[in-house]
A and B are shown apart, each in its own frame.
Chain A
Amino acid sequence: MKDDPSRRDVLTTAARVSALLGLGAVGAYMVRKTMAHDGWQIDPELCVNSHVGAAELVACQKCATTCVLQLSAVRAVNNHAGCGRCYICPAYFDVKSAVGPDGLPSEKACPRDAIRRVAIGEIDPGDMANNYYEYQIDEKLCNGCGICVMGCKEPAGLGSIRLEVRYDLCVDCNRCSIAQTCPTDAYERIPFDKSKPVVAAERA
């Protein structure tokens, strides 16, 4: 005769079932993600932060603040081929802050200190204005607030930085909360085959 199930057996079974259900949900999500043909992306021509001619001087930070994820699925991406590698980058520095003893603006623009400034090529230590600088965005720190994108926009900069939804981070909500609140309808569904190479190429 089979004994009554112990409390431990019940708990073990429940844990297995919920693990299976959890795995099932993750599996279903993975299947949905794999099968999906399109995803959310930002049209840089419409985003307030990158649209040339937008009169706003304050960055729209809704991509950072309204994503369902704790750290938004949106990141700033620098198209290095289009970057001027400037000595004073208005996306990196707060160019209106007081000049420090090193001749550089004393404050940075990024509130999360997510941009690294690295002198590249043959370095002239005697005159730092002679060097080129690469501006690298740390994707672990960036929350897609768009402040650097606004700073880099023409005519102040060359507009090489823009916001992108990262497909590997985005959970593809049925109703993207950023798309719901974006003031300029910059969010659009675009096919993966169109969007993925862009991200891959620019991160290379």
Chain B
Amino acid sequence: MTRYEHAGVHPCSAASKSAFSAALRGIAIDADGAILAAGDAKVAIFDPDGALRSSWSTPTPAHAIAACDDGRIAVGLVGGVAFFARDGSCVERWSDSDQIRFPTSLAIRGDNVLVGDAGFRHVRRFDRGGRFLGTIGMDDRGGGFRTCNGHLDLAIDAEQTIHVADPGRHRVTRFSMQGERLGHFGRFDGVDPAGFAGCCNPTNLAVTSRGEIVTVSKAPVAVKLFSSNGSLIAVLPSDEFDSQCKNCDVAVGPDDRILVVETVWREIHVYAPAALAKQTPEESR
């Protein structure tokens, strides 16, 4: 079990330098540890140490981001997904609002592009060419995920299992890549930290290389680490998050650092495995 420490605000996002003036909505970390960020109507890429590599405008507000294996960057826009080369040129665009309405999360693995679509309230699976392969999460009597916050987040682990945050049911639900339900963990509890508090939590999640699940809840922000079988391992400190934060995206790097977006101040908070914490630059707003 890894012990995490809050290692401060990532230097790429300290308020004085924040690349985003109104909204920082999605983050991802590529295989080299570069931080990809989507917000405003913009994408920004940062070196692992925080230096801005590049940024460019998107045609409409950017809601989600993911790294492709071939180096391209997928960005969720209302009504579609755009693929950018690292120089910011748009190399491909899927824009069919019958297929994609409001993508608030993206995950790409092999030939699969998964879109967490808060408009449809389920996950939509495509191949790399944009061919629609099916829906995930529509097979129960509830008719899709309970995304009361207008946000649907998902992550894929090393075993190709899909984890989806189902905030209205206070659960994390798992699926195979073909959409078969593999089970869920989580329950409502406003007292016991092993449960998810409030109306609709968790809103966001990510998976570590060891298969642990990091969840983020809102009102107030709570960052929790669960084992792969759904047992609570730790509640990570989140006192520095503004109480108005919601839908705080989370990403895990190749070194298992956890990054969580502070949506009010548009910062990225870093949680580092204890062994790495001392190497992480600390900065405060």
Binding site for B on A (CB under 8 A): 52-53, 55, 84-90, 95-99, 103-105, 122, 124, 126-127, 129-131, 154-158
Contact = CB atoms under 8 A, between A and B. Distances in A.
B148 to A, nearest CB: 3
Nearest to B169: A129
B200 A84 contact: yes
Given A130-B140, A156-B198, A157-B199, A86 B191 contact: no
Interface in B221-245: 243-245
Interface of B: 140-142, 146, 148-149, 168-171, 187-192, 195, 197-200, 218-219, 243-246
Q: Among the interface residues B197, B200, B219, B245, which one has the most CB atoms of the partner chain A within 10 A? A: B200
Contacts of A127: 140-142
Q: Among the interface residues A89, A95, A96, A158, which one has the most CB atoms of the partner chain B within 10 A? A: A95
B189 A86 contact: no
B199 A95 contact: yes
B123 to A, nearest CB: 17
B190 A105 contact: yes
A98 B191 contact: yes
Contact of B141 (A55, A124, A157): A124
B198 A53 contact: no
A95 B243 CA distance: 17
Contacts of B169: 87, 129-130
Given A88-B188, A98-B191, A99-B190, A155 B244 contact: yes
B96 to A, nearest CB: 27
B170 A88 contact: yes
B199 A88 contact: yes
A40 B140 CA distance: 47
Nearest to B187: A103
Contacts of A131: 142
Contacts of A86: 146, 148, 168, 199-200
A129 B170 CA distance: 9
